[in-house]
Copies of this chain bind each other. A is one copy, B any other.
């Protein structure tokens, strides 16, 4: 029997929010003043600041600078209860959510914000050997793997020829470019000092992009700047190329070439949380849940889907909105506001995405910005603006202070904070 708060007499509607990312947190926060009880379910005990994951993976930021305890975010919002639990299914007809560790939860309103997972598009060996870059654990895994490969090559330099230090990064979008750019900084500055006996020039960083250009969503001047900036940092760029298969020490390209590399980072695609398959809805590409202009699911005005799990069409352009943090946050907040309207007996309103521009960082002093009006900024001034905006976006003053310390030190001394791997007994290999 599900726990049914609805059985009580004069009771407030129950809003269940699934997911504690940008979308879920945005929705729950906008319900602060609504006469509802919110239950937020998140599989981890932290909210992830995904735009900074590549910095955690390349050791420019502490793990905790890209993550914040979910409970902390709602300490001052008494109508939100948080549980760390895993969603196993959603019954839209009975209006209840099934969880691995708890009794089912009944809801009056549901916000589906479960995010996505990596999509290897069936690439052979990728599930076993590739390193995705979507979760905080992904970032930590990649960092520790790369550090261990350098330590292994330090003990046995013959591993350098075997590709122990080489990294293939798949995907010429923000994830791939920011990751390979930050790896280049890590390799050429820190590792050069940490491992003076190893031949740095034989450590290859290779970026593979299926399309004809990097950063397809940016204007041409940003695209060419990015390519130059990466090449200047020693990154090899393969355009119009894809990966056919991945092994533990070799990457085979579709063109037939075999690259010796013990590390392949996958920044090339997402698919919606597999939970969507259990909804009984007709899904869109990548398993995403299509929603109407008000962000609710067809036939279920009480169910909203937002964030990377959702397929939202922008009415202004008739295009599908990309799986970005800014889209997730704005859509999540709008879904929260619409739930509040429904709970207050008011009609819902359609969602409009406000593009505030896009920015990405390629390396120290090398970032790119494209404003919503199409203006472009590149290089040091973009890098400075990037730092300011991301500091402002971090959730709390404490995170801000620590990210500032890390960034300031990295900027002044060209040193990084952690560069260590902590293995607990369970994961020792």
A residues lining the B interface (CB < 8 Å): 44-46, 62-64, 67-69, 71-72, 75, 81, 83-85, 101-102, 136-137, 140-141, 144, 147, 151-152, 154-156, 193-195, 197, 397-398, 401-402, 405-406, 409, 413, 415, 417-427, 429
**Contacting pair A155 B101 (CB below 8 A):** yes
**Contacting pair A44 B420 (CB below 8 A):** yes
Chain B residues with Cβ below 8 Å from A397 are 409
From B137, B197, B401, B413, A423 is in contact (CB under 8 Å) with B137
3 closest Cβ pairs, A-B complex: A46-B420, A64-B418, A84-B151
Q: Provide the bound-state CA to CA distance between A72 and B415, in Å.
A: 9
Chain B residues with Cβ below 8 Å from A67 are 418, 420, 422
From B69, B152, B419, A419 is in contact (CB under 8 Å) with B69
Return the chain B residue nearest A413 by Cβ. Answer: B398
Q: Provide the bound-state CA to CA distance between A413 and B401, in Å.
A: 13
Return the chain B residue nearest A45 by Cβ. Answer: B420
- What are 21 sample pairs from A and B whose C-beta atoms fall under 8 A apart? A44-B421, A45-B147, A46-B421, A64-B417, A64-B418, A64-B420, A69-B194, A71-B194, A71-B195, A72-B194, A83-B151, A84-B154, A101-B152, A136-B422, A137-B424, A140-B424, A398-B415, A398-B417, A402-B417, A405-B405, A426-B427
A368 vs chain B, min Cβ distance (A): 28
Q: A62-B402, A426-B426 are in contact. List 7 more A-B contacts (CB 8 A).
A: A63-B422, A67-B422, A69-B194, A72-B419, A85-B155, A101-B156, A405-B405
Given contacts A197-B81, A417-B402, contact A156 B102 (CB under 8 A): yes
Chain B residues with Cβ below 8 Å from A429 are 426
Return the chain B residue nearest A75 by Cβ. Answer: B193
**Contacting pair A425 B137 (CB below 8 A):** yes
**Contacting pair A84 B155 (CB below 8 A):** yes
Q: Provide the bound-state CA to CA distance between A46 and B417, in Å.
A: 12
Chain B residues with Cβ below 8 Å from A426 are 426-427, 429
Return the chain B residue nearest A404 by Cβ. Answer: B405
Return the chain B residue nearest A100 by Cβ. Answer: B155
- Best-buried of A83, A194, A425 by chain B (most CB within 10 Å): A194
A398 vs chain B, min Cβ distance (A): 5
Q: Provide the bound-state CA to CA distance between A193 and B397, in Å.
A: 18
**Contacting pair B154 A83 (CB below 8 A):** yes
Return the chain B residue nearest A152 by Cβ. Answer: B101
A68 vs chain B, min Cβ distance (A): 8
**Contacting pair B194 A102 (CB below 8 A):** no
Chain B residues with Cβ below 8 Å from A84 are 151, 154-155
Return the chain B residue nearest A85 by Cβ. Answer: B155
Chain B residues with Cβ below 8 Å from A427 are 424, 426-427
- Best-buried of A194, A419, A422 by chain B (most CB within 10 Å): A422
Given contacts A140-B422, A141-B424, contact A398 B402 (CB under 8 A): no
A395 vs chain B, min Cβ distance (A): 12
Q: Provide the bound-state CA to CA distance between A409 and B64, in Å.
A: 15
- Best-buried of A72, A195, A398, A409 by chain B (most CB within 10 Å): A398
Q: Provide the bound-state CA to CA distance between A44 and B147, in Å.
A: 11
**Contacting pair A420 B69 (CB below 8 A):** yes
Q: Provide the bound-state CA to CA distance between A415 and B424, in Å.
A: 26
**Contacting pair B194 A421 (CB below 8 A):** no
Chain B residues with Cβ below 8 Å from A69 are 194, 418-420
Return the chain B residue nearest A398 by Cβ. Answer: B409
**Contacting pair B415 A405 (CB below 8 A):** no
